[in-house]
């Protein structure tokens, strides 16, 4: 019968046989699938694996540094690339969500490509594809068919003449988590909420600017840390903050302010296809609202999204 330990044992053996002394490149996202793929390949081929982790300027606060450190702690051979400015430049003035996604996806491929080309003699591109992605990419169900598209560095395999290796291709998400546990990956990494590839880029409604990214990172970090310290993080499937393109009036001392609104979102789900908004405690929401308004310059109003999917999607764009 299937156990995580037997999966690790046979897969490492198979990877060794398949890859021999070949060099492999992998794009890490900070998510569960690519992390487990990286650790598994590291067990099999060690330093012949090079991982690339790109800061697209749309990650959560401190995410780049902290994820990079945990990868290094796990012994992965990882290159961190600060490409923030390139993403911000190319997103300047862009408001259409799908156009944002395209730009972010294209930039990721370009940055990854430049880094991968610097490596000598790479033969394989590893990907954290899991079984639901395999099914998703053959079915035509609207937006979800393109959801993962940015993760796949399309065009690169042909261009660099790379073969593809996808060790998690037959696993479901819960199996991936169990394999990760068998590989001693920390719960902190394995239990992470899903986070969209385009990141905060699709949680800033309207155009993306570095200052808006800063505001959203601050508010999001207060909310996510709050969920953790109130022991709510593991009870929620996904959570985040959305920066709305709305200003409203507030007062601060004797001054009248005209500043931004954020919406908090927290949902319960099993696969993201349907989702219910979570009945977070009022006391918690009150705390979060106060803390965000007091600490984040530029935000004077906080609302909570009480819409379920369908019809309201998890992301706002």
Residue 243 φ/ψ, nearest 5 degrees: -95, 115
Give 203 or 301: the residue with its C-beta nearer to ligand XMP.
203
Instruction: Tell me if 196 contacts ligand XMP by CB under 6 A.
Output: yes
Give, as ranges, the residues between 119 and 178 that touch ligand XMP (CB under 6 A): 143, 147-148, 150
Q: Cis omega (within 30 of 0) on the bond before 196?
A: no
Instruction: Tell me if 97 contacts ligand XMP by CB under 6 A.
Output: no
- State the Cα–Cα distance between residues 29 and 6, nearest whole angstrom: 26
Pick from 313, 302, 315, 199: nearest CA to 260? 302
Output the smallest distance, CB 1 to ligand XMP, in A: 31
Query: Of these, 11, 238, 260, 289, which contacts ligand XMP (CB under 6 A)?
Result: 238
**Contact residues for 62 (Cβ-Cβ < 8 A; gap 6+):** 221
Q: Which two tokens stand for residue 227?
A: 């969920």
Query: Of these, 132, 250, 272, 298, which contacts ligand XMP (CB under 6 A)?
Result: 272
Instruction: Tell me if 198 contacts ligand XMP by CB under 6 A.
Output: yes
Is 165 assigned a ligand-binding role in the annotation? no
Query: Of these, 101, 178, 212, 301, which contacts ligand XMP (CB under 6 A)?
Result: 101
Pick from 1, 81, 75, 3: nearest CA to 39? 75
For residue 252, give the H/E element and its range: strand 238-252
Instruction: Tell me if 194 contacts ligand XMP by CB under 6 A.
Output: yes
Give 132 or 194: the residue with its C-beta nearer to ligand XMP.
194
Is 6 assigned a ligand-binding role in the annotation? no
SS3 223: helix
Give, as ranges, the residues between 286 and 315 that touch ligand XMP (CB under 6 A): 309, 313-315
- State the Cα–Cα distance between residues 294 and 90, nearest whole angstrom: 32
The binding site for ligand XMP (CB under 6 A) comprises 101, 143, 147-148, 150, 194, 196-198, 238, 272, 309, 313-315
- What residues form the annotated binding site for ATP? 29-35
């Amino acid at each position: 019968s299937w156990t995580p330990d037997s999966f690790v044992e046979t897969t490492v053996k198979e990877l060794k046989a398949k890859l021999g002394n070949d060099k492999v490149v992998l794009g890490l996202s900070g998510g569960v699938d690519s992390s487990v793929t990286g650790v598994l390949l590291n067990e099999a081929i060690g330093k012949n694996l090079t991982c690339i982790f790109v800061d697209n300027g749309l990650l959560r606060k401190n995410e780049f540094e902290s994820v990079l450190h945990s990868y290094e702690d796990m012994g992965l051979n990882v290159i961190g690339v600060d490409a923030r400015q390139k993403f911000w430049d190319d997103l300047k003035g862009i408001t259409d969500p799908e156009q944002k996604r395209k730009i972010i996806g294209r930039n990721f491929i370009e940055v990854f490509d430049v880094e991968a080309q610097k490596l000598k003699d790479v033969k394989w591109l590893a990907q954290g594809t899991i079984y639901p992605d395999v099914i998703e990419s053959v079915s035509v169900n609207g937006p979800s068919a393109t959801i993962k598209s940015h993760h796949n560095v399309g065009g690169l395999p042909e261009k660099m003449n790379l073969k593809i290796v996808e060790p998690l291709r037959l696993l479901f998400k819960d199996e991936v988590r169990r394999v990760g546990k068998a590989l001693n990956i920390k719960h902190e990494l394995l239990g992470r909420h899903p986070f969209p590839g385009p990141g905060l880029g699709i949680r800033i409604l309207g155009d993306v600017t570095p200052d808006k990214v800063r505001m959203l990172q601050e508010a999001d970090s207060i909310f996510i840390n709050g969920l953790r310290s109130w022991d709510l993080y593991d009870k929620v499937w996904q959570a985040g903050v959305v920066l709305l393109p709305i200003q409203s009036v507030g007062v601060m001392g004797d001054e009248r302010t005209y500043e931004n609104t954020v919406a908090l979102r927290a949902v319960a789900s099993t696969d993201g296809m349907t989702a219910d908004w979570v009945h977070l405690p009022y006391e918690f929401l009150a705390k979060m609202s106060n803390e965000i308004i007091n600490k984040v310059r530029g935000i004077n109003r906080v609302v909570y999204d009480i819409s379920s999917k369908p019809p309201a999607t998890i992301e706002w764009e």
